[in-house]
Amino acid sequence: MLTVLNEQIKCLQMILSADMIDTSEGKKQLHMLKEKAVKNVHHYAFNQRADGRFVTKMANGSQMTGGTYKNLIDKLYEFYFGSQNASLASLYPEWIEYRLNESPAKEKTIKEDQYVWNSLLKGKEITLLPLRSLEAPNYIVFFRSITKNRTLTRKRFNNMKSIMNGIIYYAIEKGIIIHNPLSEIDYRKFTYKPENNSIMPYTEEERLMILDHLKDEEDLYSLAIRLQFHLTLRIGELKGLRFDDVYGNYIHICRLMNYKNEIEEDIKGHASEGIRWLPLPDEALRIIQKIKDRNPNSPYMFIKDSVTLTTGTYNDHLKKCCTELNIPYRSSHKVRFSTASILYHEGVTLPELQNMLGHTTLAMTTHYIKKISTNDSVLQKVNSVFSKNCMHL
């Protein structure tokens, strides 16, 4: 909305300068547009002094005055939207539009960023001050204020910081500033809310129970669940598989189906590491053949008669299976965690898993490695180790 308003203002200013419309009516319209734009970002009251001047409070505690209400609106508009006084808040709408039209960012990612902006940054003083006036200490004070009570996880904090970085680099590209102060900050000094890691992936025992429970099922959803438990795939990558992606004992991962159930010849994150070859165990090859028998007329494994496999229904099938087996349900994303963890504990190395998962960093892969053994199975292993030691005493 703000981007549209500012474009209208620019166009009207050009028209007025060219004497193409009635000047008095044009200036009136220009004032109305500026007033609307200012009130979208300025949330303080306007007051008139005894001397007739108009005044309003600013986010940094100072005041701005104008001889007339119109003059004050002009000054506020220049403060918030003038290129020399651009702020995170004033550039945010432009940055969103830039990402929608000129960047490879996905619509879903942009919507998630908008949610983070609205919940953590919108209206905050740091976002209203001119970028030229902000240095690393200003951001440190803000970051410390929102993390001191451990109300943000590190992940959510990083999502917020990513948005701020994006806008600042957009400002650098526009020539408004020349340096990003966020690059000077040591983020280890802040405190974060502990991540909730209580939801663990499926254990190896649970995985085997699910595979056995579904072994005689021939519907595409059951076959999809079985196949994912043999591969390190994201659900979108699984849904985007084609039969001609299979080459011998390997399958090429090179596309996905997005949250709108549209095929994209791309991989999450757009990184080259996401395009990869995965080994196909014999059971996975048998499952793919069953999928082919069930869906012989489609080039895609999980699109039949123009109907796509949906993530929600997939998870419903998985939940029903878990309920019947009386084991805790975890979504499709935890299947990927489970497969990676089982492979790691069976001897597949972290660099090998990094390639199989399509991660850009080893740290990201390490995050996927979770405990997959039950407490009873750990107890059995401990007893076995110490029993052997006792035999040598």
Alpha-helical segments (H) within the chain: 2-17, 23-41, 69-81, 88-102, 107-116, 125-128, 136-147, 154-173, 204-213, 220-228, 235-239, 282-294, 311-325, 332-345, 350-357, 362-368, 375-391
Give residue 229's pLDDT.
Answer: 95
Give residue 3's pLDDT.
Answer: 57
Task: Report residue 222's pLDDT band, with 50, 70 and 90 as the boundaries.
Answer: very high
Q: H or E segment at 56?
A: strand 54-57
What pTM value is reported for the model?
Answer: 0.58
Which range has the worst mean pLDDT, 138-147, 245-254, 304-313, 358-367? Answer: 358-367
| pLDDT over 80 (residue 24) | no
Give residue 22's pLDDT.
Answer: 58
Report how far residue 162's alpha carbon sits from residue 320's, in angstroms, rounded to the nearest whole number.
38
Per residue in 183-221, pLDDT (tens digit) is: 999 998 899 988 765 568 898 899 999 999 999 998 999
Domains of the chain: 2-81 (no CATH), 88-189 (1.10.150), 204-376 (1.10.443.10)
3-state secondary structure of 255: coil
Report how far residue 165's alpha carbon sits from residue 154's, in angstroms, rounded to the nearest whole number.
16
Tokens read off for 259: 């949250």
Least Cα distance to 298 among 226, 348, 242 occurs for 242
Percent of the chain with pLDDT over 70: 86
Task: Answer with the residue of higher pLDDT: 84 or 389.
Answer: 84
Tokens read off for 69: 């209400």
